[in-house]
Amino acid sequence: MENIYDVLKQRDLIKQITFEDEFESISKSEKFAVYLGIDPTADSIHIGHFIPLMMMSYFQKCGHTPILLIGGGTAFIGDPSGKTDMRKMLSKEDISKNVDNIIKQVSRFISFDGDNAAIIVNNGDWILDLNYMDFIRTYGVYFNVNRMLDAECFKQRMEKGLTFFELNYMLMQSYDFLHLFEEKGCKVQIGGDDQWSNMLAGVDLIRKIHKNGSFCITCPLLLNSEGKKMGKTVNGALWLDAKKTSPYEFYQYWRNIGDTEVYDVLRMLTYLPMDEVKKLSSLKDEQINEAKKIAAFEITKLIHGEEEAKMAEDASNALFGGSGDLSSMPTTKVDCANISILDAIILTNIAPSKGQARTLIAQRWYIFK
């Protein structure tokens, strides 16, 4: 069985890590629990959750036990990281519905069977019943407000005014890690790079109380050739829910990535061996399109299953290669014979408004590359 530190380094999946030498050492001698937290602020996870989930799946493949923490408690606050405005507060009913949907989606990445079967926990089980005065008295003394306000996760919110309500998010997430450390033997938290400040606070809290044994690792962001986050479509986020982003649209997104993006997409979002990743990403000119087709198929298969991936591939081949099946391609029935291109774009949900439709046309954008 491979060593998790070596796997993550080989695929360049470590952006930041605490106590790296110590982590490398224990990863070679111990099997431990590792957790990833997802707040159920939407009824689906999106491409931003993809890389941390892939990282978690590699931990499981290397013999460690994944803990998926659903933030049924912290969702009542909302993570202020990277936000300029306060998040919308959700009802208990909305949070419960979102939790059920997210659990179904993550089962594509991690297994709930076997010796190191994944565990699902909901921090609402321990956070919502906390006595606030007892909590602040016991754990608040470990947090320095000056350091908290310097944290990257709060900077954008500081521009409009960070509420005390939101400031508590870091304390609650840190307490999550402490709780899992004490109750489940969890030593590692993983997450996106935008969570670095919150994760550091958790490691710091555990080490102040228990002196050692905790680590956090962030994964890199998936960026396009312009240095912007990948996963944004004309209609918004690239969702993993087929009802929000169809398997065909999902497939086409990855089929149309830039040549320079192939390497990062293959190494971060597929299980292909690195030798094959390097071989495919080194292809030039027209041949690189074959690598993009493989990337699109592998990623769609992972998220939507092999059958849906095959149908999306067939529809793409039928449109652009002259062979295949068009039946799985999304269609919209138009009742009127005469319709403007602007109205057609809006009717088919390619753009939400005529203003955005005009922008797409001005940029000589077209639906299928």
pLDDT band of residue 233 (cuts 50, 70, 90) is low
Asked if 287 and 242 sit in the same domain, the reply is yes
Position 225 in a domain: no
Token pair in block for residue 38 = 């997802």
Q: What is the pLDDT of residue 18?
A: 97
Asked if 207 and 59 sit in the same domain, the reply is yes
Using CA atoms, how far apart are residues 6 and 206, in angstroms rounded to an integer?
A: 25
Please say if the pLDDT value at position 309 is more than 80: yes
Asked if 117 and 194 sit in the same domain, the reply is yes
Position 226 in a domain: no
Position 89 in a domain: yes
The more confidently predicted of residues 352 and 62 is: 62
Asked if 53 and 201 sit in the same domain, the reply is yes
Considering the entire predicted model, what is its pTM?
0.81
Please say if the pLDDT value at position 154 is more than 80: no
pLDDT digits 0-9 by tens, 34-69: 999 988 878 888 888 899 999 999 999 999 999 999
HSE-CB at 74 with a 13 A cutoff on CA atoms is 25
State the total domains in the chain. 3
Q: What is the pLDDT of residue 84?
A: 40
- pLDDT average, residue stretch 320-326: 56
Q: Which of 16-20, 159-163, 199-203 has the lowest mean pLDDT?
A: 159-163
Asked if 170 and 212 sit in the same domain, the reply is yes
Host H or E run for residue 6: helix 4-10
Q: Tell me what the pLDDT averaged over the chain comes to.
A: 85
Q: Indicate which residues carry an active-site annotation.
A: 41, 46, 49, 83, 87, 173, 194, 229, 232-233
Give DSSP secondary structure letters for 298-347.
HHHHHHH-HHHHHHHHHHHHHHHTS-S--TTS-------S---HHHHHHH
Please tell me whether residue 32 adopts helix, strand or coil conformation. Answer: coil
- Domain with 239 in it: 232-329
Phi first, then psi: give them for residue 229, nearest 5 degrees. -60, 135
pLDDT band of residue 302 (cuts 50, 70, 90) is very high
Using CA atoms, how far apart are residues 320 and 256, in angstroms rounded to an integer?
A: 12
Asked if 265 and 340 sit in the same domain, the reply is no
Please tell me whether residue 233 adopts helix, strand or coil conformation. Answer: strand
pLDDT band of residue 306 (cuts 50, 70, 90) is very high
pLDDT digits 0-9 by tens, 12-26: 999 999 999 999 999
Asked if 123 and 260 sit in the same domain, the reply is no
